Structure 1
Amino acid sequence: MTQYNSVTQEIIEQIVAAIGAENVYTDEVKKEPYSHDELVGKKYNKIPELVVLPTTPEQVAAVVKIANEHTIPVIARGAGTAFTSASVALFGGIVISTERMNQILEIDEENMFMVVEPGATTATVQKAANEKGFLYAGDPCSGDSSFIGGNIGTNAGGNKAVKYGTTRQQVAGVEIVTAEGDIVTLGGKLKKDSSGYNLFHLIIGSEGTLGIVTKCYLRLVPLPESQMDVLAVFPSLKTAIEVVPKIMSAGVNPVCVEFMDNGSVRNCEAYLNESLPDSENGNYIIVSIEGDNEELLEEQLGTIDEICTENGASSVLIADPERIWKARKIYAEADRAISIVTSMEDIVVPTTHIPETIETIAELGEKYGLTIHCAGHAGDGNIHANILKKDLSDEEWDEKLHAIQEEIYAKVYELGGKLSGEHGIGYKRKAVLAQYTNPVEIKLMQAVKKALDPKNILNPGKVIDVE
């Protein structure tokens, strides 16, 4: 295993000389917020030896060069909204926070591209694009706080992925700092490119293990004139989920198709302290459509209403978008309000297998006596199953969680699914990825990691082990 060196006072002085004392945190109190992400648990927390907050790619490169020379881990960090301990300095070392690299550098209206720094929030990017008449289609539920760099690091999905795809489809290029401290642009403002290996796609979803993103080239599309949201309420989650493929194959091109089980609906209602439609027994399907032809949208609304009603919906409503989307987006936050410790599973299966997967999760919840709330992206097979610790002791929690995860993951892979649809692997899921992934695939990943990061200093201990 790689033997890492500690951050000495001499190294701190080198870094201060390179990027300025105002961009370096050595105080334990200032470093503590960088010791964890949204994943709660002592084994997932560790205060870094040093936190740096660079403002330019050149400053990032200077820090990485020093770290590489002395074999010190470097952990790139965005907003810390992940649930996988992906940005925690588990082996010590230096956390590089991109929070001060938050500028929108260019909006190229003619070519429909935006160039931004990695610390810009998703919501800021979306707003800037909207003001110019464009849409940036990346839309994770954490968009108000998550950074674009973090979205790229995990290949975030979100609410518009059904129509527009995940973050990978929104990114045309990245500037990165390599493990040796070089700055290079991969991709750029191009619609197509067959000039050698497509290296920037390796960076997307790599969680800071292959390079540190310092600039992002984002695709824009014209902003649709209208959007309409439909809320269909069903007495059972199984019936609700089974209607999704019928909507998708009916000539409707939804932006998103989301679901919330009744436990999630009622918990979000209590958290928001405001009533939600048919919340007592209702399971939600939320469908958004958009376009420039209102007459066509009205026809699609009629089609959705008809399909849902014929397949058991107790009501189909034109949704109040602010109220319904607020409830959907605070789903995880509402769960943490009643159980500080949760395990958010981010499984993805072929869309036709969602009902079977949901049914299995419910049965396993009863088997192990665990409360599980399910919500997610029904249109692309991504299920967020929040397993709540509540009143269990740490020992009971660890035992039951491990057992139920083993059964859930076995079912997911039996159905042709994967561990993560959009949140990534980080440290939390690393061992399970190795357990369920073809060894040849792991070997290929290790070869890429060793080639791009020979000293294994970039976010070690995340995604895969290389030794």
Structure 2
Amino acid sequence: MTTYNPVSAEFLDAVRAVIGADYVLTDAEKLDMYKTDEEYDPRRFRVPEAVVIPGSAEEIAEIVKLCNKYMVPVTVRGGGTSLADGAIAVCGGIILLTERLNKIIEMNTEGMYMVVEAGVRTIDIQKMANEAGFLYAGDPCSAESCLIGGNLATNAGGNKAVRYGVTRNQVYSLEMVTPTGEIVEVGARLKKCSTGYCMEQLVMGSEGTLGIITKATLKLLPLPPFRFDVLAVFLDPHMALSLVERINKAGINPTSIEYMDNSYVRGTADFIEFKGAPHYEDGIYVIVTVETYSEDELDMKMEQLSELCEEAGAVDVLEADDRIWSMRRNCQESVSLISKVSLTDDVVVPVNKIASTIKEIMEISTKYPFPVPVKVNAHIGDGNLHLVLCKCDMSDADWEKYVHEFHEEVYAYAYAQGGRLAGEHGIGAKKLSYMEEFTPAGELNLMRLIKRAWDPNNILNPGKVFNA
């Protein structure tokens, strides 16, 4: 177990000399703002000893060197949208904000790429790309508030992953500060490369444990000029889930296939005050997006998709307008209407196992006395399902007991299907014990060896992913 030192006046003075006193926060009221991310269970909150706000990679490098010298752990925080306690300073020390690294450095239309700093909002990258006639395909549901550095650190997924892949598929190269305070660039703006280890791919998804990402070169694609969004409404979840296989075998190549059970249909409609949401009382929603470069292809796929929805048993096939997408994007936030404390899971399984996995999980959930039934929304086109448990008025002891027992069953089933603990939210501190329980020993040992080699003092984001 690594032993850290408390943040000292000497350490803070050294940090102030690097970034200026205005960017070092020690006031108790301000520190309290950073005790959590998207975690709502107060027992998991941790107030950092200080918050620092550097403005460049060079300043971050100097801070990391000081953290090594004084044995102070550092937790990196982007937009604070982690659902896995990824931005909570669970081992104390400092929180390092990337919000000042907020420049879009280059928009290159000839080479079809963007160079951005880690503190740029994802939605601003999307908008700038769209205005130039391009697509940045990374699209997490929190795009309006999350920062690109956090997307990279967690290998965020989102709504477009079915067609375009996740964040790691949108990146050419990274600039990062290593755990010992060096600034390095990994990756290159190449279509293919077979030159040594693929370091940028290792850093992405490492959740801030192997380096602090400061800059990225992102891939752009031509923006498809034609698009349609279909809402297929079902009354039976098994019929709804059967649509995925039909679409995939038909070669439609959708951008997204999203699923919302009826509890989410009602909850999100209430949350955004969408009166008259289709089939509010009993509907299960599957939202399908298709993008094309040809209007003729669009028309053909629209007709084909409508037929597939009807064959699968849809009771209604409608256009999914902005209100439907607003419902989907507000799934997480809508839970606050029924419970102040909730837990969102992020299991991922092979796409052809998604229907049987949801069915099994719902059967497992009936064994446990949760105050409301388990809620399910999912990126069913890529096998990633989100389960939400609501604490409501359940006692702390019962909550801990039943959540743990439920997870033991669900994760065991997911791994038996070839799945994993997290598809896009990451492990953070919340799933650390399960990561160590369910990850094959050889694979986990390799991760530990890499972490120890790169971060000998265990300075970067300790207490996350696994015990180093």
TM-score in terms of structure 1 length: 0.98
2:151 alignment partner in structure 1: 151
Q: Does residue 291 in structure 1 map to residue 308 in structure 2?
A: no
Distance, in Å, in 1 between the alignment partners of 2:80 and 2:188 is 27
Match among 442, 446, 453 for residue 455 of structure 2: 453
Give 5+ residue unaligned stretches, structure 1: none
State the 1:37 CA deviation.
0.9
The superposition leaves residues 276-327 of structure 1 with CA deviations (integer Å, 9 ceiling, x where unpaired) of: 111211111110001121121111111111111012110111221x111100
Distance, in Å, in 1 between the alignment partners of 2:452 and 2:221 is 37
State the 1:192 CA deviation.
2.2
Match among 372, 375, 386 for residue 373 of structure 1: 375
State the 1:149 CA deviation.
0.4
- Spell out the pairing of 1:263-282 with structure 2 (5 A cutoff): 263-274=263-274, 275-282=276-283
Q: Mean Cα displacement is larger for which, 449-458 or 360-369?
A: 360-369
Aligned length: 465
Distance, in Å, in 2 between the alignment partners of 1:242 and 1:350 is 14
- Spell out the pairing of 1:116-195 with structure 2 (5 A cutoff): 116-195=116-195
State the 1:193 CA deviation.
2.1
The superposition leaves residues 199-251 of structure 1 with CA deviations (integer Å, 9 ceiling, x where unpaired) of: 11111000000000010111000111111100101111111011111111102
2:96 alignment partner in structure 1: 96
1:219 alignment partner in structure 2: 219
The superposition leaves residues 71-97 of structure 1 with CA deviations (integer Å, 9 ceiling, x where unpaired) of: 110111111101111111111111110
Distance, in Å, in 2 between the alignment partners of 1:14 and 1:383 is 45
| Secondary structure at the counterpart of residue 269 of structure 1 | helix
2:198 alignment partner in structure 1: 198
Distance, in Å, in 2 between the alignment partners of 1:2 and 1:398 is 27
- Which one-letter code corresponds to 2:95 in the other structure? V
- Spell out the pairing of 1:318-333 with structure 2 (5 A cutoff): 318-320=319-321, 322-333=322-333
| Secondary structure at the counterpart of residue 466 of structure 2 | coil
1:334 alignment partner in structure 2: 334
- Which one-letter code corresponds to 2:61 in the other structure? A
- Spell out the pairing of 1:399-438 with structure 2 (5 A cutoff): 399-438=401-440
The superposition leaves residues 112-133 of structure 1 with CA deviations (integer Å, 9 ceiling, x where unpaired) of: 1101111111101100111111
Distance, in Å, in 2 between the alignment partners of 1:175 and 1:28 is 33
Distance, in Å, in 1 between the alignment partners of 2:308 and 2:338 is 36
| Secondary structure at the counterpart of residue 348 of structure 1 | coil
Q: Mean Cα displacement is larger for which, 42-51 or 372-381?
A: 42-51
1:33 alignment partner in structure 2: 33
Distance, in Å, in 1 between the alignment partners of 2:200 and 2:450 is 13
Distance, in Å, in 1 between the alignment partners of 2:129 and 2:22 is 32
Distance, in Å, in 1 between the alignment partners of 2:17 and 2:130 is 40
Contact preservation (8 Å) 1:174, 1:200 = yes
State the 1:174 CA deviation.
0.7
The superposition leaves residues 238-281 of structure 1 with CA deviations (integer Å, 9 ceiling, x where unpaired) of: 11011111111102010011110111101111111113111211
Identity, in percent, stands at 46
Q: Does residue 463 in structure 1 map to residue 465 in structure 2?
A: yes
The superposition leaves residues 41-93 of structure 1 with CA deviations (integer Å, 9 ceiling, x where unpaired) of: 23421111110111111111111111011111011111110111111111111
| Secondary structure at the counterpart of residue 464 of structure 2 | coil
Contact preservation (8 Å) 1:115, 1:218 = yes
State the 1:351 CA deviation.
1.4
Distance, in Å, in 2 between the alignment partners of 1:417 and 1:270 is 33
Distance, in Å, in 1 between the alignment partners of 2:212 and 2:320 is 40
Q: Does residue 85 in structure 1 map to residue 93 in structure 2?
A: no
The superposition leaves residues 375-430 of structure 1 with CA deviations (integer Å, 9 ceiling, x where unpaired) of: 11010000001111122121221111111111111111111111000000000001
Q: CA RMSD in A?
A: 1.0
Distance, in Å, in 2 between the alignment partners of 1:24 and 1:193 is 41
State the 1:361 CA deviation.
2.0
| Secondary structure at the counterpart of residue 345 of structure 2 | strand
TM-score in terms of structure 2 length: 0.98
| Secondary structure at the counterpart of residue 347 of structure 2 | strand
The superposition leaves residues 115-167 of structure 1 with CA deviations (integer Å, 9 ceiling, x where unpaired) of: 11111111011001111111000000010101100001110000000000000
Contact preservation (8 Å) 1:186, 1:200 = yes
Give 5+ residue unaligned stretches, structure 2: none
State the 1:21 CA deviation.
0.8
2:236 alignment partner in structure 1: 236
| Secondary structure at the counterpart of residue 115 of structure 1 | strand
Contact preservation (8 Å) 1:112, 1:221 = yes
- Which one-letter code corresponds to 2:295 in the other structure? E
Distance, in Å, in 1 between the alignment partners of 2:186 and 2:399 is 44
